[in-house]
Every structure is written in C-alpha cells, then in structure tokens.
Structure 1
Amino acid sequence: MIASPAPRAAAAPRAPHRPGPPPQDPPAPYHPDHTGPSGRVSRLRIGWHAVPRTGLRRLTVWPATGAGLLLGRNQQQVPVPLRLFDPDPVRVALVGGVWAAQLLIFRAFAIGARAMVVTTEQRAWSGFGERATGQYQRLTVLGGEPDALPPGTAQTPSLIVYDLGVTGPATAPPLGPWTSALTVLRQLDRPGVAALQEADLTLMQRLGGDESTLAAATLRLSQQNGQLLQFMTDDMVALVGEGPDRFVSLNQTGIEQQYLGPPRR
C-alpha cells in the first residue's frame, strides 16, 4: 500500500519590498605602487585617475618652446615642431621657393599669426592672405622695407617675411617679443650666406650641388648630411638648429594642397 504524501506547509507571506539605501562602495584598498599623500587611493572621480608609479616613468614631457607649429615628421615618423614664435625674437632662413614659405605662413595663420611680406615679386603673393584666411588684414604685401613692424603678442604673433631673391634685407627694423623674421633665399649664393649665419633656424628644400657645398660649409654640416641635401624629395626640408640636423617630411594636408598646390621649389 502506497502512502499518500504529507500535505505541504503553507508558505509564509513575503514582506513587501522596500528599497533601501544604495550600496556603498568599499574603501579603496591600499596599494604600494600608486598611493596618494595619505597612503590610500580615493574613489575614481570624473577627471581624476590614479596612475601607478611604473606608468609615470613612461610619460614624456615636452619642454615649453613658445608658440610652435608642426613642421612635419622625421624619418622615424616622430612629429617635428618648429619654434617659430617666442618671447624672444626668432630669425629663420629658408633656402627654397615661395611654395615652402607660404606653407609655413599658412600654418602660422592657424596659431593666430599676422604676416607682412616684403618682396620684389608681389605677383607671387597677390591674394594669398585672402585665400588662406578669408580676411584682408592677416597678411600685408609690401614692395619696400617697412620703417616699423606691427607688435606681436602670445595670442597674435607677428611674422615679417623677406622674399628678396638671393639675399636678406639690407637694413631691417629690430624685432620685438613674439615677432619673427623669415628670410627666403630663392637660390643660395654668396650674398645669402649672411642670412644663414644670422638665423636661429635654417630650413632648406632640395639643393643643387654648388648650393649644398656652400650650405654645408656655412652651417658646418657633416659630409653625409651635406650630400643628402641634394637628394630630398619635393615634400621634404632639412632643419638645422635646435638640436641635431633633421630631414623632415612636410606631410601636406588636403586643405594645404588645395590652396598651395603640390610641393615644389
């Protein structure tokens, strides 16, 4: 005879659910590799992060170099900044053509600069400032050297460009803070040597044989670097000054190519 199952006990009624306070985060554990002054790490907050000391050792801090612009990338694809503006005046010599000069000015416009161009070939500069910025007051083109330069500030640095062929200006007004001078040498010959000697930074597009010999002697380049000046591609410049000599790819953007055309000297 099979015994019938015993009747189940009635389930006790459930208490209604009442929401309680939200759970509190447990205190942050002590960790010897990333502690604050109290020896503990506080809870994560928006905008604040705890970094292990081992991670801090891998951080790189770039030195402050005034208002710089990105010149391009070196052969290791590392960005190369150009210290074009600074509280102290900066003098730059460019052995190359109008295209390279206008590329530098185009990038200087992006950091708020105003430019003044003194040139014997005003047609090459006609309308450039208006096309590049949509404004008329950002670039002034002159046929003769000015008596004074517009003052520069950290927010609106000033750039004076001398495009006089194969030499720099005979006389030039003194440069003030946040004011830089760019001397463009269409060809490098004896009259332009002084501009290279006075420059804090020198940029060079691809040079011919006589030009590279003169540049190497003036700037005291190594024999290898002097020879490489003749073999750069159209979109490269050599940068001499502020550390080791570098060969830089300019990495022209689509907008720059639209306004300036392809690289050339």
Structure 2
Amino acid sequence: MSGSRGTTRRRARGSAEGSAGRPAERSAERPARASAEVAARVSTRGGFGLVGPRRERHVVAAADLDALALPVGDDGVVIGVDAQGRPAVLGINRPAPYEVTLVGGLWTAQVLALRAAATGARVAVETGRGQVWSGLAQAAGGGQQCVTLHDVGRVPPQGASAGSPVLVIRDCGMRPPRGRVAAGPWQSVLTLLPYLSPTAPRLLRNSSLVGVQRVSPDEAEQIGRLMRLPSGAVESLPTLGDGVTLWCNALDRQFVMTQPTDTETGLLGPARRID
C-alpha cells in the first residue's frame, strides 16, 4: 500500500506539473529569451554593426593617450612637420577673422597658397609682381580658377562663406598699404614681409599668428621683443635653414619644416629663403 501511495503521489505531482506546463514553458522560453538577448546586443552595437566574427580591437595604453591627435582637420593646411616629425596644421578656414603675418620668403607663401587651394579654399593674391605668381595660378586647381591675381589695392570683394572660404595673400613688399579687403568670417589674410620694416610692429601685434624665417640677429632681437620669445628661440632665428619657420603667437610657438612634394618642387623649385 505504501508503495502504491508513493507511486500515486509521484504520478499526481508529475501530472500537476505537466498540467501547469512548467517544463514545457521552460523549454519554450529558452530560445525566445536567447533571441531577445541577441536582439538587445545588436540594437546596442550601433557603432560596430551586426554581431559577426570575433576580431581584435585596437587598444592603446592609458600612458600613450597624450600622444594621440588628429593631425589634419577639414579646415587645415598641412604646413610641414614639427621637431618630432608630426604634421603641423594651420587652420585658415575660420568663422572669425584670422590674420597671419609671415616674415619670410616667397617660396613658403606660394606653398601655402597651393595647399590652401587643395583644401577647397579660393586664394586671392594681391601683388605687385604678378609674373612670379602667374605659373602657380595657372597650375593650381586643375583648370579651375581657384587662385586669382590682383594688383596692389585692387582686390575686389571675395564673397567668402563657409562653403567657399577665401585666403587673401598680400605680397606687397616691405611697406604694404592698408588693404581694401580685410580679414572677416571665412576669409583669412596672410601678409608676406620679406624682412622687417617700419610697418612690421603693427602687423605683428595685430596678427593672430606670426611666422618667422631666417632673419638677421638685429631683426631677431626686435621680433623677440615684439613676440616675447625666449632667448633660445631668438638666438636660433638667424641660423634657420631654408624651409624652416617659427610659427608663434601669444600662447604658443613651434618650429616647422616645410617639405615640398614632388609636384611643388617641380613648380616652385626647392625650398629657399631668399627670392
């Protein structure tokens, strides 16, 4: 009797569980729950796409994070490399007025013009020596007139905008007159000075950025006072090699070597400080 009661209880318990559907529910829930988990993982992996084969992630140690940088922006011109060999970028396409003064050679200004045009900017050159710019203007843009030449004081309004930024290069000698076209939103102005002149202090003080190539010791001392350069930087200015520029402002300074591409060398020749 006791054995039959135990058997009856087990059958009753199994019948009750079967009638409640618990084992059946568990087996049915497993694939449904797994599908839901996969769907949840897929929905939260928007940056990586669908779950696929395992692949190794790129990992950088925390100590190396400071070395990471984006060397090129969509509004930047690569003007060369710094002392560590990293690309140095000059952001000339800006929503606010931006003025640059370069105390240096024509070669560097022309490289900047070519590279600015390559980023999509229009370049307007104000110059009294159009013959030294004409070859560049014809070669730039691949047939499009992205570099235009204008006589001194005759640069028309350029209509700069975010979609069509402009760089005005003023190659007007030692004493450039006040320009008709000033820096404005999406229109930067670069003034080229072959050497220091009586107008240089005003230009350097009003510039957002100043570039200095090889100058005489006396000029280096004067630039050092105007730009508050440390003595080491001042002493190095008379010894800079061709193609080397000290770019500086009130907050920062950096020596940059401009290395021409084969195309630039073919058009402009090798780097040189003296025109």
Question: What is the TM-score with the length of structure 1 in the denominator?
Answer: 0.75
Distance 1:259 1:108 in 2: 16
Distance 1:80 1:96 in 2: 18
Letter in 1 for 2:219: E
What is aligned with 1:151? Answer: 159
Structure 2: tracts of 5 or more residues without a match? 1-33, 35-42
**CA deviation after TM superposition for structure 1 residue 132, in Å:** 2.7
CA displacement, residues 229-252 of structure 1 (integer Å, 9 cap, x when unaligned): 111110211110274211111122
Kindly tell me the number of residue pairs found equivalent between the two proteins.
228
Letter in 1 for 2:194: R
Of Structure 1 and Structure 2, which has the larger fraction of its residues in helix? 2
What is aligned with 1:188? Answer: 196
Q: 1:228 aligned to 2:228?
A: no
Letter in 2 for 1:255: T
Distance 2:116 2:190 in 1: 12
After the TM superposition, list the runs of 4 or more consecutive aligned residues in structure 1 that deviate by more than 4 angstroms. 41-46, 48-57, 61-66
Q: Is the 8 A contact 1:168 1:195 kept in 2?
A: no
Q: Is the 8 A contact 2:98 2:184 kept in 1?
A: no
Structure 1: tracts of 5 or more residues without a match? 1-26, 28-35
What is aligned with 2:97? Answer: 89
Relative to structure 1, is the Cα distance of residues 167 and 176 closer, same or farther in structure 2, using a 3 angstrom cutoff? same
Distance 1:252 1:99 in 2: 10
What is aligned with 1:79? Answer: 87
Distance 1:162 1:83 in 2: 18
Relative to structure 1, is the Cα distance of residues 58 and 97 closer, same or farther in structure 2, using a 3 angstrom cutoff? closer
**CA deviation after TM superposition for structure 1 residue 148, in Å:** 4.0
What is aligned with 2:139? Answer: 131
Relative to structure 1, is the Cα distance of residues 62 and 178 closer, same or farther in structure 2, using a 3 angstrom cutoff? same
The 5-angstrom pairing of residues 39-188 of structure 1 reads 44-45=51-52, 58=65, 60=68, 62=70, 67-135=75-143, 137-146=145-154, 148-188=156-196
**CA deviation after TM superposition for structure 1 residue 191, in Å:** 2.2
**CA deviation after TM superposition for structure 1 residue 183, in Å:** 0.2
**CA deviation after TM superposition for structure 1 residue 168, in Å:** 3.4
**CA deviation after TM superposition for structure 1 residue 153, in Å:** 2.9
Distance 1:146 1:66 in 2: 30
Distance 2:107 2:261 in 1: 14
**CA deviation after TM superposition for structure 1 residue 79, in Å:** 1.7
**CA deviation after TM superposition for structure 1 residue 43, in Å:** 6.8
Letter in 1 for 2:254: R
Q: Is the 8 A contact 1:189 1:211 kept in 2?
A: no
SS of 1:101 mapped into structure 2: helix
Relative to structure 1, is the Cα distance of residues 42 and 176 closer, same or farther in structure 2, using a 3 angstrom cutoff? closer
**CA deviation after TM superposition for structure 1 residue 105, in Å:** 0.4
CA displacement, residues 102-158 of structure 1 (integer Å, 9 cap, x when unaligned): 000011011011111111222221232112333352122111323642122334310
CA displacement, residues 59-109 of structure 1 (integer Å, 9 cap, x when unaligned): 835599771111111111122111112111211101112111100001101
Distance 1:64 1:125 in 2: 27
Q: Is the 8 A contact 1:89 1:175 kept in 2?
A: yes
Relative to structure 1, is the Cα distance of residues 55 and 42 closer, same or farther in structure 2, using a 3 angstrom cutoff? farther
**CA deviation after TM superposition for structure 1 residue 172, in Å:** 3.1
Distance 2:153 2:221 in 1: 31
When Rg is computed on C-alpha atoms for both structures, the one with the higher figure is 2
Relative to structure 1, is the Cα distance of residues 200 and 45 closer, same or farther in structure 2, using a 3 angstrom cutoff? farther
**CA deviation after TM superposition for structure 1 residue 190, in Å:** 2.2
Aligned CA-pair RMSD? 3.2
